[in-house]
Every structure is written in C-alpha cells, then in structure tokens.
Structure 1
Amino acid sequence: MEVTIDSNSGYCFGVEFAIQMAEDEMTDGNTLYCLGDIVHNDMEVKRLHDKGLRIITREDLSNVSDCKVLIRAHGEPPETYQTALENNIELIDASCPVVLKLQNRVKNAYDQMLEKDGQIVIYGQPGHAEIIGLTGQTGGKAIIILNDEDLEKIDFNRPVTLFSQTTKSTKGFYRIKGMIEERMQEASGQDLKTIAFNANDSICRQVSNREPQLQRFSKEQDVIVFVSSKKSSNGKALYSVCKSENERSYFIANEEELQPEWFEGAQSVGVCGATSTPMWLMENVASAIRNIGENCVASV
C-alpha cells in the first residue's frame, strides 16, 4: 500500500509566519501570550505551549500589562490595539498580510457606504477570529452571512458591498453572490448592470487554489485521509472537496483516530490537510497508515 502526502497541503504563508514569529520570541525560554489559538490545531497549540506560549482571551487582554502579546494571522479589530496601548503591552503582530489588506479594503468600503446608506456584507463564519477583526473595521456594523437564511439580514433595497472571509470556499462565495444579485434585482426591478451591488472575491488565492489541487489529488488515490482540527473552518471546506471527489475520504484530528478497515483493498492512500495542519502531524499519520498496511500484510 503506497502512502503519499499531498505536497500542497499544510500551513499557508500566514500561519507559518505567525508560528515562526512565536518561536523566535520564545527562543530564550520566555513566556509569550497569544490572543486566541495561534492555529486551529490542538496538537500544534500543545507543542507551542510546551515552549512557553500561553493562550489568552480578549477579556484576559484587559487584565494583563507590561508583557508581550502575539496577534495571530487572523488579525484583530482596532480596539485590541487600543487596549494594548493603554496597558503598556508590546504587540508582536503576526497578522497575515492578506488579512491586513482585506481589513483596509473593508474599512474604506464602509466609510464610502456610510455616505450612500449602504451595507457591508461579509460571507464568513460568525464568531471566527478573522471575522471579528473585519467586523471591527465597521464598528460592528457589518452583516455576516453564512447560510441561505442569513440573507434575510440584508435590506435588498439599499446598496450592498460584499466581501468574503479569506479562507471560505470560492464556490460558496459565488453562490451567495448570485443569490444577492437575484434578490436585489427582484427588489428594485432593475437589471444586473444598474443595481447598487459591488462584490469582492477576497478569498486568499493560496487557499482557493488548493481546491482544484485537492480535487486532482483525491481522484488519484483509493483512500483519502484528511487531517485537521474539527474547529478549522478551512479544514471543513477542504474536506468537503475531498469527499465530493472520493467517497472513501475520512476526516481525522490525529493518527489515533485511524480505523484499519478504511484501507481494506486499497493500493494507494493520500494524506492531506488544512492550511492549519502542520506537516509533522501529516507525517505522523502517514507513518501510522504504513504500519497498518504492514500489519495487514503480516496477518495474511
């Protein structure tokens, strides 16, 4: 049984950058606070905890002072920077450049929409760290939509500017975009060219490009093992891509969740993961699968 790790899986640039910054700060054994999980992967969080990284909440931030706090790749709203200034906190800002650029675009669009009585709509996961940072650019006024029923939050008689969380599905974004266009046309009685709707595909291309790559990879393997934390939004989206191409796709958090029966009759197994999945974890999973294959051969 041949086991292959997808070369395109693993950390995106933003996550890799944030983890490297954290490790650099902890080189001398110093404790470093991090505002929320540095990455949506419990095993990686534990590895960094053992090096001195301590996770705190936004509520905790108000109660610490004279220390260093890492801002992870997801970015933060303006009030976080204000709190840090007031409490003499040195921020180690590891915000992803793609996210920072999007925050600026959302802020500028919001300022413009105020003059038009318009609405900023963001396709994303409510409560997600990146969404909190983006919403902060609008003073909490952005409308967050994820499902069809969330469209009811929008006033289709007013101008709409649409953005997306950087790690959402491209297919999902364009589906939501089409639904908003249709409802705005119905509400106004105008055609597509004249409605006050501006859609911005702000999905990270490093993330969106993984969808076609995973489609190809999934088709090439008898079995797919997708490794990710269950709380990773990106992980859920990418796993659905694998599952749509290969029914024998399985979602696990680590090698302990592997089931030998998944690999019965398989000649090839592909291991892949989310942008928050460390390569060392996928290598552990691949090694465990190889052991399962060897044990099955030995027992025949």
Structure 2
Amino acid sequence: MQILLANPRGFCAGVERAISIVERALEKFGAPIYVRHEVVHNRFVVDDLKAKGAVFVHELDEVPDGATVIFSAHGVPKSVRAEAERRDLKVFDATCPLVTKVHLEVERHRKAGREVIMIGHRGHPEVEGTMGQWPDGMYLVENVADVATLKLGAGGTAPPLAYVTQTTLSVDDAAAIVAALKARFPDIVGPKKDDICYATQNRQDAVRRLAQQCDVILVVGSPNSSNSNRLREVAEQQGVKAWLIDRAAEIRPEWFAAANAVGVTAGASAPEALVAEVVAAVAKLTGAPQPEIAQEDEGVRFPLPKGLD
C-alpha cells in the first residue's frame, strides 16, 4: 500500500489572505470582530477563528452599529457594502482579488450595454455576490441544459451578451457550458483569461495526475466548499473512487479494502494540518508508510487591506 499526495493542494493565496485579515483584525482591535458569512468554507478554520473571538453572522443586521465587520472571501453584493457604509461600520474586505476581478468584469460589461450571463451554482455566496454587482441584466446558468432554455431580451432577439464564471467551478464543466453559450450566442463576449482561478485549475490538474496512480482518493474539505466538491468530482470522472471528508474521523477502513494506492488532496480552504491528520490515519489503518508532507509553493501572494498590513 502507498499513500500519495497531490501537489499543489490546500490553502490558496485568497484563503490565506482572508484568514490573515480576521486574525490581524482581532490582534489590532480585539474581540469581537464580526464576519459576514463563513470567511472561507472550512469548519476547522471557522471554529478556530470563533475560538479567537470572531463572530460569524448571516447578515449585517446582526452586527452592532459602529462595530468592525469583515466580508468573506466569496465577495458581497453592492447592497451589502451600501448598508455597511450607511451604518458606519468599520469594514475590512476579505474578498479574494480574483473574485473582485470578476465583479469588475460585470461592471464593465453592463456599462458597455451588455447583459451578463454568469456560470455558477445557485445559492453559493460567490454567485450571490457577483450577481449582486448590478441590479438588472444578469442571468445565471448552472449547466448546459440551462443554456438551451435561457430567455433573454424581448421579441426573441438576444441583447449584446457577455459571460463570467464562478472562480471555483470544474474546469471541464465550465468549458462545456461556455461552448454551449458560444454555439447559441456566437457574438457573446468572454473574459480574456478564464475566470476560474489559478488555484482551482492547479488543484484539479493535480487530482487528474494523482488519479493515474491511485485506486482511492480522499479530498480533505468541508461539504459546503465548492472547490473541494469539484476535486472529488474530477477524481470520480477519472474512474477513481473518491470521498470528501472534513476530518480523519470520517474515514472508513472498507474504502481501502482492495486498494494498492491511496491519494490525498485538499480543497483550497482546507489547512495542511488536516492533511497531515488524514495521512496519519490512513497509514495507521492500512499499514502504509507515511509520505513526507511537502507542499508546493505556487508563488502567489495577495496583500492585506490598508489598516491591517
């Protein structure tokens, strides 16, 4: 039995920045620091920040006037920013810069008179934030079937169109939806460079490579993490059994009964400490030697906001 690790895996630059923003705010201003929605989608991270004094809320009406609030890495609608300003809340924005880039694309297209189709998962905070950048002229598609039934404009004539995507989608799924959009709307405008972020792309590529060597793949990540779910799907699309787990306690010995090699990866919001925990648990269950827990540096860093740097 072998245990093999995907590289790269785990934290991306946007997640590291978001966590650092909460920790620095707590150091500088003291508890409580309010955070709108989970700053990143990982239970371990959120629980750790709660223990340090962060208070996670669903909406701004749960935040006292004059308090300090942090927007999550997934971004927020413009209406939320306006409410925070109206209530004189001290805001630090942990929106990933790559999500902000998509927000700016939406604004540019709408100002140019184009309506915007967003490719993404309904209800995801990033989708809600991006769709909330403009009050009208935006449409959501989740799959190729949605493209065929999409109703735009009046009188059956489509207006000038552009598309953007959620940053954490499956690369293959997004490509199929883009192809369907271009087939139906040949003049649609897309981003110069794919909106899917570097970390999502790199982690999915790493899982494809890992799947060539493994019978089973464990993805460390929380159930509400979009990019972690996509990693599990990518592994399964390669014909490998894959499970998404939050912690080592969720591992089942029967998963490895006929396996010669087990692969381990982690979503972009899952800390490396959980990877080490899972590897140790798999080694104990299977008798496999533990591999060196080495991480690949992707060389991407995002600065902290003014006032926290």
TM value normalised by structure 1: 0.86
Taking the aligned partners of 1:163 and 1:40, their CA distance within structure 2 comes to: 22
Give the SS at the match of 1:50: helix
Whole-angstrom distance in 2 between the partners of 1:139 and 1:280: 42
Which residue pairs with 2:237 in the alignment? Answer: 244
Distance 1:13 1:135 in 2: 24
Aligned residues: 280
What per-residue deviation string (whole Å, max 9, x for no partner) do you get for residues 195-244 of structure 1?
Answer: 43112331112211222221001222232111111111111111111112
SS of match in other structure, 2:217: strand
Maintained 8 Å contact 1:124/1:168: yes
The equivalent of 2:53 in structure 1 is 52
Give distance in 2, aligned partners of 1:86 and 1:224: 48
Pick aligned residue for 1:154 from 148, 151, 155: 151
Deviation at 1:79, TM superposition (A): 1.7
SS of aligned partner of 2:195: coil
How far did residue 36 of structure 1 move? Answer: 0.1
Alignment of 1:143 with 2:144, yes or no, is: no
Q: Give 1:14-163 correspondences, 5 Å limit.
A: 14-27=14-27, 29-61=30-62, 64-113=64-113, 118-151=114-147, 152-155=149-152, 157-158=157-158, 159-163=160-164
* Counterpart residue number, 2:222: 229
- Compare relative contact order (CA 8 Å, sep 6+) and give the higher one, 1 or 2: 2
Separation (CA, whole Å) in 1 of partners of 2:239 and 2:180: 29
- Match for 1:138: what amino acid? W
Cα 1:37/1:269, change in 2 over 3 Å: same
3-state secondary structure, aligned to 1:26: helix
| Letter aligned with residue 128 of structure 2 | I
Q: In 2, Cα distance between the equivalents of 1:267 and 1:196?
A: 50
Deviation at 1:68, TM superposition (A): 0.7
| Corresponding letter in the other structure for 2:61 | D
* 2:172 aligned residue: 171
Match of 1:187 in 2: none
Q: Note the C-alpha offset of 1:280.
A: 1.2
In structure 1, C-alpha distance between the alignment counterparts of 2:98 and 2:258, rounded to whole Å: 43
- Larger Rg, first or second structure (1 or 2): 1
C-alpha contact 1:219 1:246 (8 A) present in aligned 2: no
Q: CA deviation at 1:140?
A: 4.6
Alignment-derived partner of residue 214 in structure 1: 207
Instruction: Kindly indicate whether the alpha-carbon contact (under 8 Å) linking 1:5 and 1:283 is maintained by their aligned counterparts in 2.
Output: no
Question: Could you list the per-position Cα deviations for residues 127-162 of structure 1 after superposition, in whole angstroms to 9, with x for gaps in the alignment?
Answer: 211112211222153101102342223327312211
Q: Is the 8 A contact 1:126 1:146 kept in 2?
A: yes
Q: Name the CA distance, whole Å, in 1 between partners of 2:54 and 2:124.
A: 21
Matched, 1:196 2:192: no
Q: Distance in 2 between matches of 1:282 and 1:99?
A: 26
In the alignment, the residues of structure 2 paired with residue 135 and residue 245 of structure 1 have an alpha-carbon distance, to the nearest angstrom, of 32
More helix by percentage: 1
Deviation at 1:90, TM superposition (A): 0.6
Q: Matched residues in 2 for 1:290 and 1:246: separation?
A: 23
Change (3 A) 1:213 1:5: closer
Moved over 6 A (4+): none
Report if aligned partners of 2:235, 2:241 keep a CA contact under 8 Å in 1.
Answer: no
**Structure 2 length as normaliser, TM-score?**
0.84
- Give the letter aligned to residue 199 of structure 1: G
Q: Which runs of 5+ in 1 are unaligned?
A: 185-194, 296-300
**Distance in 1 (alpha carbons) for counterparts of 2:145 and 2:236:** 25
